Structure 1
């Protein structure tokens, strides 16, 4: 399947092959003898599903990294791989954002609201897709939620509910669903949301005002809980000596959602709009009180578009009382905690992800499974790399790797992710699965 990059000119250098290195002709695609690729399934969350630009839609589904892996596995005898695609008539799925324009270098986005795939507005439910599938990725899925009964009901996760036939018992959980597919090979990429949900809410656990209980999507999963459930999951997936690849969890602070809106840019923006302002600090609320922000604090991407900085009509997050001091520019009215992952919170989530990854590598070693070190790869991408003639970094829009939501991947990013898995498969299972050519894919679609 060719996907030409329509937006970026690419010049490929001719590789010089020395006599001591294998020539291109010597690379013979092979499945090897250590793994059976005849029925490959992908277990995961939004990244596996092809979620991008803040939504799940057909174009993103068609370049989801598990599908790209499957296409390469088919070159060595792998089986058919089916995905729960939206129809052409409902191709925009849940809706998503697209880049409308660049004004003075600043992105202007708009919500795509036509050709959606909702069958119910209240509660929001997507059009069902209940045929057999191999890509089991469910946006929003977490390790802890995978074992929760009711997650596939109308009150649970609409992306999972979409995949279940009418009449499915309400106790059906994602773990049971995903481990009963009679697979021969799997990729497993769960756990991102066990840290990401907390981090994207500025290290704050949301409280449901109706139930006065924590929103489980914003809770930072305990290491012991994560480890226990991971071991149970992998034990079930590997019964009968079935093989697969476990993915490590990326450092959440390495994605544009946290690296785009910086303290320096906010200060520069205020002073550019009002040259006499002389602003030198942005003030933030933390769990230890209000203080001046530092370069080690992470403002989340939506803060920039919210247009709150300097306003005097913003209600307090907790009391709801309007604070008359300029928002974020006066120590008496700091930026709300949910808009900032401060240095202490950032250290906490990085440590938690590191602990999760230790557990992932440990269980992989105990079961003789491959590890796709997505964490290490995306950390290298943060500062910029060059692959197949393309520059890829964590820069928002221009970095090529991340979509407009600052978390999920572009087609280029998905191809890069697929290659990380393919490299792990080849290394661990003695296969020679061809890698993808990154220059066949696009980054952010420009207006």
Structure 2
């Protein structure tokens, strides 16, 4: 009952451009670092920076993170070694992740959770917080400081290393004894250049839970501004140069655009032609929620279990789920129109802060919001590869509908590089996007 019916491998379009008797010479700038110094490049950020993909953090995703791709290109203009906190080959599947195993008769994908060769060493219960999964400790140098799930709101919180297994694995101490904040950790060792893509989770975590989790509210705009100013001031305190990215339009990713109200209703009507509308528990102007008829402006999350539709709800006298005002689709499964507007308002405010602060420090800016929205609207052709923001077939987004494939991370890496080249009069060569894979299909052994 989802909007997609079938998925095909991306057709790689290749061809030779024939020239006549005259040959055209193409002047490619000689690789140069310009006015920047890439001797020790570090990357600051969250799951996107870490290489998170397919609903998990695992070695292949780490190896294809956008910072590692940027660093490889920087090495062509004198950049130094870039070391990532990789999971070992014996525990390459890290936290576990989703794998595509096939398609159902209606074209919807079938996935399974990878549970072997994990890097999970245990679990701890933190009083007042809950359970924290602990991962195998990493020791050694670090250039990629990406920590999945971290919010800008948490970068100065000293106990955060006890509440995040992804951060805890990078620290020498064990939870609950850590007292080093994320911002202090990433700036403890000298560096010459940085990229920063913090802030996504300050909006994304609210959105992907349908605005239903009281612990995952949108970060206050003033607090975001204060912390972003603080973080960039600290990252540039010794004159370091860098590049930042704006926050993408979090409701424009496949997680929110694949399963639509219209597609669900059409599926319901195949079984129950009398069904006229879906009902959702939606946000009111006073902050309360009540049931109303769903519209196309209400966004259903990718993981919504469509099999629930029409099932009798015992607590409501066996009325069909999702089809009456007394049995609406629960708030956790839908980011309704009001919540969408509020999320976008906050993201726009966050991005205004990011651009203002970065400009005041003379940093390069990759406008990820504008770029990814343009990809959603018009698609993209890079190195002869047709890309889009469509789920699975688009090649950019991984199976969780939020994070990127290796090919998507290569696209992002190139956009960072373009911004760096422009700001610092550099000529870092772009990565070859076609050499990175999109979604891995069953039987595909490419890395």
TM-score (norm 2): 0.90
Distance 1:23 1:325, change over 3 A: farther
**Per-residue CA distance 1:216-263 (angstroms, 9 max, x = gap):** xx1100110000001111111112221000110000111000001101
Structure 1 residue runs of 5 or longer lacking an equivalent are 1-6, 207-214, 315-320
Which residue pairs with 1:260 in the alignment?
258
**Per-residue CA distance 1:18-70 (angstroms, 9 max, x = gap):** 9xxx95453211111x1110000000000000000000001100100000000
Which residue pairs with 1:110 in the alignment?
112
Distance 1:78 1:15, change over 3 A: farther
Which residue pairs with 1:4 in the alignment?
none
Deviation at 1:385, TM superposition (A): 2.1
**Per-residue CA distance 1:184-237 (angstroms, 9 max, x = gap):** 00000000000001111112233xxxxxxxx2xx11001100000011111111
Deviation at 1:17, TM superposition (A): 9.7
TM-score (norm 1): 0.90
**Per-residue CA distance 1:315-370 (angstroms, 9 max, x = gap):** xxxxxx56621110112210011111111110110111011010000011111110
Retained in 1: the 8 A contact 2:259–2:301? Answer: yes
Match among 132, 136, 152 for residue 143 of structure 1? 152
Which residue pairs with 1:271 in the alignment?
269
Which residue pairs with 1:307 in the alignment?
307
Q: Secondary structure at the match of 1:124?
A: strand
Inter-partner Cα distance in structure 2 for 1:54 and 1:376: 25
Deviation at 1:16, TM superposition (A): 8.2
Retained in 1: the 8 A contact 2:12–2:384? Answer: yes
Which residue pairs with 1:157 in the alignment?
164
Retained in 2: the 8 A contact 1:402–1:408? Answer: yes
Inter-partner Cα distance in structure 1 for 2:255 and 2:317: 27
Which residue pairs with 2:37 in the alignment?
36
- 2:413 is the counterpart of 1:418: yes
Which residue pairs with 1:328 in the alignment?
322
Q: Which has the larger displacement, 352-361 or 329-338? A: 329-338
Please show how residues 145-224 of structure 1 align to structure 2 within 5 Å.
Answer: 145-153=154-162, 156-166=163-173, 170-206=178-214, 215=215, 218-224=216-222
Inter-partner Cα distance in structure 1 for 2:246 and 2:101: 34
Q: Which has the larger displacement, 362-371 or 168-177? A: 168-177
- 2:356 is the counterpart of 1:362: yes
Inter-partner Cα distance in structure 2 for 1:433 and 1:13: 26
Match among 375, 387, 392 for residue 387 of structure 2? 392
Distance 1:298 1:171, change over 3 A: same
Which residue pairs with 2:287 in the alignment?
none
Deviation at 1:306, TM superposition (A): 5.6
- 2:410 is the counterpart of 1:446: no
Q: Secondary structure at the match of 2:224?
A: helix
Structure 2 residue runs of 5 or longer lacking an equivalent are 1-8, 125-131, 285-289, 443-447
**Per-residue CA distance 1:240-293 (angstroms, 9 max, x = gap):** 221000110000111000001101110111123x1x533221100113311110
Retained in 2: the 8 A contact 1:323–1:333? Answer: no
Inter-partner Cα distance in structure 2 for 1:306 and 1:265: 10
Inter-partner Cα distance in structure 2 for 1:14 and 1:377: 28
Which residue pairs with 1:210 in the alignment?
none
Deviation at 1:181, TM superposition (A): 2.4
